[in-house]
Amino acid sequence: MAVCTGCSLLCEDIEVALKTGAIEKAKNLCRKGQGHFQALFSDRTVPSVEGGETSLDQAIEKAANILMNAKDPLLYGWSNSSLEAQKVGIELAKKLEAKIDDTSSFCQGQLLERVLKGELPSCTLDDVRNFADVSVFWGADPSNSHPRHLSRFSYYPRGSKRQKGYEEERNCVVIDVRKSSTAKLCSDYFRIPPGGDAEFAEAIIAILDGKMPRFGDKKRMIGLASIFKKADFGAIFPGLGLVYSLVQKMEIFENLVARLNDVSNYKVVPMVGHYNMRGFNELMLDETGYINQISFKNGVHHGSENSVTMAAKSSDACLVVGSDPLSALPFVIARSLAKSQLVVIDPRRSLTTDAAKVVIPSAMSGLESGGKAVRMDGVRISFEPIFESNLLSDEEILTRIMEAI
């Protein structure tokens, strides 16, 4: 059995057979996972400096040189690397007195930090499968982002306390601004206007407090509050829709969760996207007391100025590991990165590798190199490489850069 590192569900039941240059047979891989495995065979990177192909040794030497001579380096990415590689990355940031940040800064960081610090109650996805009778996807569309979430854990499977079919024993609630693929499958879909998440949460709190809701269809809102109250075990899966909407009002969500726990038992599992974002955040929390946005210049400093979205403009050099910020970030930030001394460690070609001064090809984590990672719910998963490769892992490349520095 192989582990899929296509998303933070880290499915452990994958069976694959290969023929030259393609997957011959695959069992249990979703479409997203299929794309992830298929990526082995296209757009692979080669070592390069200033756009010209070179040896791996020279690329590593040049990368070390750029980072060593930078006044204000930023080390970014990490969510697609194993825990072992992330540990070396944090050591490298300390050695360089660099800024270090990951994708959580502009996605699930706010919620995950609360979960990791015990400020929001959480549980494992196995608990959800075994006990949950209400699953709430709020601003999340797992059918597109985590395609096996519903079938492995949150809606369709039978669990130790949920032996009957999902139609009888589970409610799946979707709260979203559009009728997503998941909304089409769920038992209860609530459409909200963009930015209406706070009012929706407050309306549910009002009903739980015995007041009339001032938002939405009153009858349906009261019906939803009743589903929430009757639940034995509810799981809320917040997605980016909720996070972006409540970005400076997250206490409203915390209040709702607390209120729901007065009437029943509710847990929160943020819909972390990349396969090991949570792992990086856990390591950073242990090391610094914060999950991201750290500068190691003269000690440990935390702040938004160290986030990739802000540091990209001030840093003179950036090491990107396993990420494509030039595709995923706003153009102005992407352009700042493109103009810095950009060093990229990545198995595959991307907009970011195309703009980089130095590209170092790496083994695809989970496919060509092994390690450990933390699933979205905090469960540690180990994986072995399933394909032979001569490529170095992120961990090995980062260790060599450390040694060169």
Partner 1 sequence: MGIDLRIITFRDIFQYEAGKKSRFSPEFQNLSAQIIMDKDDMVQLGLKDGQNVCLENEMSKIVVKAIQTDDEPHPGLAFMTNSPWSNQLVKDNINDRIIPDFKAILVQASASNESVTNLAELLERLRH
Q: Does 146 bind ligand SF4 (CB under 6 A)?
A: yes
Q: Does 39 bind ligand SF4 (CB under 6 A)?
A: no
Q: Does 270 bind ligand SF4 (CB under 6 A)?
A: no
Residue 349: contacted member of partner 1, ligand SF4, none (CB under 5 to 8 Å, by partner type): partner 1
Residue 29: contacted member of partner 1, ligand SF4, none (CB under 5 to 8 Å, by partner type): ligand SF4
Query: Could you list the residues that contact partner 1 (CB under 8 A)?
Result: 31-32, 34-36, 38-39, 42-43, 105-106, 141, 143-145, 147, 177-180, 191, 194-195, 240-241, 243-245, 247-248, 293, 304, 307, 309-310, 324, 326-335, 338, 349-351, 354-355
Output the CA–CA distances (angstroms, integers) from residue 182 to 109, 138, 159, 175, 393, in the order listed.
23, 11, 21, 10, 36
Residue 277: contacted member of partner 1, ligand SF4, none (CB under 5 to 8 Å, by partner type): none
Instruction: Give residue number: closest CB to ligand SF4.
Output: 6
Q: Does 147 bind ligand SF4 (CB under 6 A)?
A: yes
Residue 148: contacted member of ligand SF4, partner 1, none (CB under 5 to 8 Å, by partner type): ligand SF4
Give me the least distance between CB of 121 and partner 1, in Å please: 24
Q: Applying CB under 6 A, which of residues 2, 16, 26, 29 lies at the interface with ligand SF4?
A: 29
Give me the least distance between CB of 318 and partner 1, in Å please: 14
Q: Applying CB under 6 A, which of residues 148, 170, 259, 274 lies at the interface with ligand SF4?
A: 148
Q: Does 279 bind ligand SF4 (CB under 6 A)?
A: no
Give me the least distance between CB of 8 and partner 1, in Å please: 13
From 30-38, 191-199, 331-339, 381-389, give the range in contact with ligand SF4 by CB under 6 A: 30-38
Residue 329: contacted member of ligand SF4, partner 1, none (CB under 5 to 8 Å, by partner type): partner 1
Nearer to partner 1, 204 or 311 (CB): 311
Q: Does 273 bind ligand SF4 (CB under 6 A)?
A: no
Residue 350: contacted member of partner 1, ligand SF4, none (CB under 5 to 8 Å, by partner type): partner 1
